[in-house]
Chains A and B, each alone.
Chain A
């Protein structure tokens, strides 16, 4: 009996220590130093909200997709988290004239498959985007992001020339959105194969992936180091990164708290205080570049009357929405631009909440008894739309909300078939070109208000090619004033980007364009 008991105790002790070892060994893995070098061996997991569309850098127009692709592909230039443009694959550049830019490309850079990166690849990358139907018979959706760029020519092995049809002041700001792809690999294997087995020159190389599940990449050991302006320079500290699609907010947060994910996107404001009280989690935020707004169909009753549109601006309490639903993590806007944007018109003041004035304006327009209204939105903005509907009901508008699939709703809005939509528009350059043109040019690709004003059209067209920044800013300020007076939108709000990481994550900050670049991120 005695012997049995001691055996039992030993067994318990052994089991217990095994259990402890098991706990300690799980999760992030430990640093390993090989040959004295500061090499590390761990996996970084990023929890993303939406599934991505492709792994071909030329075949999408989507931020989440770009976030993933950015970790495998580098561009000529990149953007810091302070929105500054710095060189990446380009060593230097100069504008020899307003319509000609010369880029010097870094030497000695290779793609993941060993192919050398030179001017050929750069020229190929851009001609692939600029040429109609160049990618398996389809035209790149990123063509629009190249504005007036007409052609990119090889000058010598490491120099390329961008030729613009007209001066385009935001050229450099838009360039970080294009990543360089390998010419030989793509011409040999084809576009379809490339999209399934992407090869870039970025810090991580593709291992395997499922666009709606998880995308796994591993460190590219021969990486040239990335932008010299963004420390540290060199191969990435993480040996493997995984982008995992987790649509459910609660599962993203739970896996962050358990340490299964290291960085998560889109932390809802009502979870911030709870996450901040968790010692294992850091919540980080920065200003966002997305504008939320309510577009009213200016061609259809009742919103063809500017009084009704103004009444809506007075009836919706944006301040309250920002405070209550966003938990104060945002700001109500006076016009279509964020205060941080270039050429923001500081003279404009938000309409502000004034129900009496709204009712009075509605009465003047002949809608004393209100009118029936369906507010359209996509799923993610339903809550805001519901809040707007309940505020509009208070001034007598019989408002209800309808949620749509964006693919169905978008064309209907542009055709002027609907009345009111709650929408958002990302403009990662913070230049008015990226939002005023699509939203307020007659027939613009995001003109959900079906807004058309000749003066605005003229000003926007002129501003597109003015190189002098002050003169350009002046035009955009005028546009903001006109749009404000016309009340084409119920001017909305800007939100902060709120992301979170585990306490051990180093050297990572959220970026205003919500891209997550893992090159420099380490785990302590």
Chain B
């Protein structure tokens, strides 16, 4: 009995690692079983997975290149309509390019914009939020006031202004969206940090002599990361919509097949070639809907407290 509980000092490290992995595994298992029992979240997750796979394998899935086409196929009808051909299932766009191929390549832009902008926003938000919330003081003051300043602008108007100043393009778009996008994460993390800081486990960690950095990263962060994940998922749908809106306005991504610009290009043809706008629009709708379903599902699963906020 004695031998079973006692751990050899040299094995202690690997034991804790095993224990930690076990806990992780259990957490994931629990998360998985909750997800499966949450139909909308599951649906969202499955749809997003399909979109991600389509984006990765776009060159194999798309029958043509995104810019390939001949003016002969201009405004070609979808396959099931009169005049359509099975070679171009969704028909041709205003320059005779294959609409389906362009939509499939368009997934890449939307997802990439979503992941990159939210990724950067989360990173900045956590970094600033944790520090500001833990130490308070002048750093908190400066960053918080700057964040308030940014929040005073409506998001789309702000992004339009940024894009107009810097010009269209992927890099500029990411810059414009993250410039303001981190503030929400910052405020969330800072707020959580402020309330966690006073809790007993933090006090305990301090008493045991843990360093500030270790307390922030290994004690507090795991307790607030759930809320961040939920917010990140919800914001991703928003960022994708933002990119599409900017591209629709001609300020986003011009030189690649982006859904927003495709919807815009088809706008003038709505009366006799409705498919040019409609299909990219439906894909955009599906993707954003799926992301929001997953986001709300994650909120229910990971962070039921947030529910009352809505």
- Chain B residues positioned under 8 Å from A320 (CB to CB): 71
CA distance A400 to B170 in the complex (A): 14
Contact between A270 and B71, CB atoms less than 8 A apart: no
- Chain A residues positioned under 8 Å from B270 (CB to CB): 250
Chain B nearest CB, measured from A144 CB (Å)? 30
Within 8 A of B (CB), among A400-427: 400-403, 405
Contact between A253 and B271, CB atoms less than 8 A apart: yes
Contact between A400 and B255, CB atoms less than 8 A apart: yes
Cross-chain contact of B75 among A249, A270, A387, A401 (Cβ < 8 A): A270
Q: Does A379 contact B (CB under 8 A)?
A: yes
Cross-chain contact of A268 among B95, B164, B268 (Cβ < 8 A): B268
Closest 3 A/B residue pairs (Cβ): A324-B71, A400-B255, A249-B268
CB closest chain-B residue, reference A321: B71
- Chain A residues positioned under 8 Å from B254 (CB to CB): 400-403
Within 8 A of A (CB), among B68-90: 69, 71-72, 74-75
Contact between A390 and B95, CB atoms less than 8 A apart: yes
Chain A nearest CB, measured from B64 CB (Å)? 12
- Chain A residues positioned under 8 Å from B94 (CB to CB): 383
Q: A268-B268, A383-B265 are in contact. List 14 more A-B contacts (CB 8 A).
A: A248-B267, A248-B268, A254-B271, A270-B75, A270-B273, A324-B74, A325-B74, A383-B95, A387-B71, A387-B95, A390-B95, A401-B255, A402-B255, A403-B168
Task: Classify the interface of chain A: helix, strand, loop or mixed.
Answer: helix
- Chain A residues positioned under 8 Å from B250 (CB to CB): 379, 382, 403
Q: Does A15 contact B (CB under 8 A)?
A: no
Contact between A390 and B69, CB atoms less than 8 A apart: yes
| 23 A-B pairs in the complex with CB atoms less than 8 angstroms apart | A248-B268, A249-B268, A250-B268, A250-B270, A253-B271, A268-B268, A270-B269, A271-B271, A271-B272, A320-B71, A321-B71, A379-B250, A383-B94, A383-B95, A387-B95, A390-B67, A390-B95, A401-B254, A401-B255, A402-B168, A402-B254, A403-B250, A403-B254
CA distance A175 to B250 in the complex (A): 39
Contact between B271 and A324, CB atoms less than 8 A apart: no
Chain B nearest CB, measured from A113 CB (Å)? 42
Interface string of B163-190 (1 = CB under 8 A from A): 0100110000000000000000000000
- Chain A residues positioned under 8 Å from B265 (CB to CB): 382-383
Interface string of A315-339 (1 = CB under 8 A from B): 0000011011100000000000000
Task: Tally chain B residues at the interface, Cβ within 8 Å.
Answer: 23
Q: Does B191 contact A (CB under 8 A)?
A: no
Question: Which residues of chain B have a CB within 8 Å of any CB of chain A?
Answer: 67, 69, 71-72, 74-75, 94-96, 164, 167-168, 250, 254-255, 265, 267-273
Chain B nearest CB, measured from A77 CB (Å)? 37
Q: Does A393 contact B (CB under 8 A)?
A: yes
CA distance A250 to B269 in the complex (A): 8
Task: Classify the interface of chain B: helix, strand, loop or mixed.
Answer: loop
CA distance A324 to B268 in the complex (A): 16
- Chain B residues positioned under 8 Å from A250 (CB to CB): 267-268, 270-271
Q: Does A279 contact B (CB under 8 A)?
A: no
Chain A nearest CB, measured from B272 CB (Å)? 6
- Chain B residues positioned under 8 Å from A271 (CB to CB): 271-272
Chain A nearest CB, measured from B255 CB (Å)? 4
Chain A nearest CB, measured from B73 CB (Å)? 9
- Chain A residues positioned under 8 Å from B255 (CB to CB): 400-402
Cross-chain contact of A324 among B96, B168, B269, B273 (Cβ < 8 A): B96
Chain A nearest CB, measured from B262 CB (Å)? 12
Contact between A274 and B271, CB atoms less than 8 A apart: yes
- Chain A residues positioned under 8 Å from B272 (CB to CB): 270-271, 274
Within 8 A of B (CB), among A233-278: 248-250, 253-254, 268, 270-271, 274
Give the one of A248, A274, A324, A405 with max B CB within 10 A. A324
CA distance A36 to B34 in the complex (A): 85
Chain B nearest CB, measured from A296 CB (Å)? 20
Q: Does A386 contact B (CB under 8 A)?
A: yes
Chain B nearest CB, measured from A269 CB (Å)? 11
CB closest chain-A residue, reference B94: A383
Contact between B95 and A386, CB atoms less than 8 A apart: yes
CA distance A165 to B245 in the complex (A): 54
CB closest chain-B residue, reference A253: B271
Cross-chain contact of B67 among A274, A321, A325, A393 (Cβ < 8 A): A393
CA distance A248 to B75 in the complex (A): 19
Chain B nearest CB, measured from A391 CB (Å)? 9
CB closest chain-A residue, reference B271: A250
- Chain A residues positioned under 8 Å from B96 (CB to CB): 324
CA distance A379 to B264 in the complex (A): 11
- Chain A residues positioned under 8 Å from B267 (CB to CB): 248, 250
Chain A nearest CB, measured from B22 CB (Å)? 53
CA distance A387 to B271 in the complex (A): 22
CB closest chain-A residue, reference B251: A403
Chain B nearest CB, measured from A418 CB (Å)? 13
Chain A nearest CB, measured from B261 CB (Å)? 9
- Chain B residues positioned under 8 Å from A249 (CB to CB): 268
Interface string of A366-387 (1 = CB under 8 A from B): 0000000000000100110011
- Chain B residues positioned under 8 Å from A382 (CB to CB): 250, 265
